[in-house]
Amino acid sequence: MSDVSPSFLFEHPLNEKMRTWLRIEFLLQQLYGQQALSETAIALTFFRTLSDLLDVLERGEVRTELLKELERQQQKLLTWVDVPGVDMPLIDQLRNQLKARAAALMAAPRLGQALREDRLISLVRQRLSIPGGCCSFDLPTLHMWMHAPQQDRDVDIVNWLQTLAPLNQALTMALDLIRQTGSFRNQISLNGFFQGNAEGADMLRLSINLTQQLYPQISGHKTRYAIRFLPLDNEHGVVPERLAFELACC
């Protein structure tokens, strides 16, 4: 595949733990990317995303699973110690970072608890499920907050996001290291279908040329997976007999 061809990266989880982590990462990226709440519409998007994150955090043992992963990554790094020519300063740096992320995550209060207890966030969450339920007459507190000076709102947002920092930093590092375990390899699908083995992998990462106007539909679990490529235009789109793409099992 040409390096200059426009392409997009698609990631698919192969277990429930990774499914949850990718959803949390997706929500955190939105929260950290929309911090300047200058308009009510932007603010409601922020609060809705925050509410979704709190819902996800209430399911499963996110902190426990992340701490296990950080420890697993430390043990994997130890296996490189005796390899000739290995960059030991880098190994030590990564291990220290993993230890610091784990310590911060361990010391943090219950994930999302401070946000659940925040009065404004709680009021907005109660109204989000009601169509149009965040109007000024339904939620005057939010609209008063939106008319406060921008710097005051900025302080609130910084404080809210700061409570998520241990989670964000630990998850980012864990996912970065997991992604680096898989190298992209050139693959060919026949008539829009491809299957393979993914023993012990947590996710698939797939890169496909955008000019094809195709998207992957993936089914699989921790041992096997199948990929079917479908046209974005389901009426006139065409799936080529042989389709080149890149795939990494991580």
Spatial separation of the C-alpha atoms in residues 60 and 152, rounded to whole Å? 34
Instruction: Quote the pLDDT of residue 86.
Output: 75
Instruction: Quote the pLDDT of residue 83.
Output: 76
- Can you give the chain as a three-state secondary structure string? CCCCCCEEEEEEECCHHHHHHHHHHHHHHHHHHCCCCCCHHHHHHHHHHHHHHHHHHCCCCHHHHHHHHHHHHHHHHHCCCCCCCCCHHHHHHHHHHHHHHHHHHHHCCCCCHHHHHCHHHHHHHHHHCCCCCCCCCCCHHHHHHHCCCHHHHHHHHHHHHHCCHHHHHHHHHHHHHHHCCCCCEEEEEECCEEEEECCCCCEEEEEEEHHHCEEEEEEECCCEEEEEEEECCCCCCCCCCEEEEEEEEC
Bridge pairing between strands 193-197 and 224-231 = antiparallel
Which residues pair with residue 12 across a beta bridge?
Answer: 204
Spatial separation of the C-alpha atoms in residues 54 and 115, rounded to whole Å? 8
| CB distance 203 to 13 below 8 Å | yes
**Domains detected in the chain:** 7-11+182-249 (2.60.440.10), 34-181 (1.10.3900.10)
Instruction: Quote the pLDDT of residue 158.
Output: 95
Question: CB burial class (10 A; 0-12, 13-18, 19+) of residue 91?
Answer: middle
Assign residue 213 a region (left: φ > 0; alpha: ψ between -120 and 50; beta: otherwise): left
Instruction: Quote the pLDDT of residue 1.
Output: 43
Instruction: Quote the pLDDT of residue 119.
Output: 96
Please give the chain's pLDDT, 250 residues, in tens.
445 568 889 999 999 999 999 999 999 999 999 878 889 999 999 999 999 999 999 987 999 999 999 999 999 888 887 777 777 888 889 999 999 999 999 999 999 999 999 999 999 999 999 998 889 899 999 999 999 999 999 999 999 999 999 999 999 999 999 999 999 999 999 999 999 998 889 999 999 998 889 999 998 776 889 999 999 988 888 999 999 999 999 9
> φ, ψ for residue 55 (rounded to 5)?
-65, -45
Bridge pairing between strands 242-249 and 193-197 = unpaired
How many CB atoms are located within 10 Å of the residue 51 CB? 20
